[in-house]
């Protein structure tokens, strides 16, 4: 594997497992809109893509209802949901090791930047990242390709072949491909192996330790 200089890392499903917080907040929003979904497992598809995309594709909501659903979602998420979350095992060790190896690190997430910053500070991970880029609260800059492009612009001294994106869903890999950078798909998150293969991940790993090995 070639040597990279900048590693972009997704948050949900890659650094931490946010299932409880996200799915319960979606469940709360749906209940507010008279949609009952008792099985949290069925709401796992909300982990990864922008909320606007999920509410539209899964429940067929129009723009006005999507905005209302997101408002309800954030009521619960900002109160408790963002911290109903746990780091995947060995993540802190991985980030420490990458920093010691001289990598420049950035978070590239579809989650609003303000929430990503709070979560990373909660887990004491913000110290490892030079840059944290997410979506805006008004729903703009939610496409992963746009988020990655902003990270690349920040690290403008590097060529495209010096970047690599790490993520668990097709959106991470598609965004990487749109920006002509390599990618690593991780199967321990919420994307299936088939999804990662179809999205043309440059590499695929099955654990945090394997991710460490492939980068170092």
Contact 25, 77 (CB under 8 A): yes
Write a three-state SS string for 117-142. HHHHHHCCCHHHCCEEEEECCCCCCC
Burial 30-54 (b: 16+ CB within 10 A, else e): beeeeeeeeeeeebeebbbbbbbbb
Distance CA 77, CA 70 (A): 10
Residues marked as catalytic: 10
Q: How far is CA 142 from CA 111, 135, 145, 154, in A?
A: 8, 5, 9, 18
């Amino acid at each position: 594997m070639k040597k990279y200089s900048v590693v972009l890392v997704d948050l949900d499903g890659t650094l931490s497992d946010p299932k409880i917080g996200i799915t319960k907040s979606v469940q709360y929003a749906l209940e507010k809109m008279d949609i009952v979904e008792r099985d949290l497992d069925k709401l796992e598809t909300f982990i990864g893509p922008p909320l606007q995309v999920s509410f539209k594709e899964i429940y067929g909501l129009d723009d006005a209802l999507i905005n209302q659903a997101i408002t309800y979602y954030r009521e619960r998420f900002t109160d408790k949901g963002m911290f109903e979350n746990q780091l995947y095992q060995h993540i802190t060790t991985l980030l420490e090791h990458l920093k010691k190896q001289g990598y420049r690190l950035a978070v590239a997430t579809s989650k609003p930047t303000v929430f990503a910053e709070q979560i990373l500070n909660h887990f004491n991970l913000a110290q490892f990242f030079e840059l944290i880029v997410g979506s805006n609260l008004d729903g703009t800059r939610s496409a992963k390709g746009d988020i990655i492009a902003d990270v690349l612009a920040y690290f403008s001294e590097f060529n495209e072949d010096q970047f690599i994106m790490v993520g668990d869903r097709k959106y991470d890999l598609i965004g990487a491909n749109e920006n002509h950078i390599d990618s690593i798909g991780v199967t321990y998150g919420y994307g299936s192996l088939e999804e990662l293969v179809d999205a043309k991940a440059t590499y695929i790993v099955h654990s945090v330790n394997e991710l460490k090995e492939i980068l170092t």
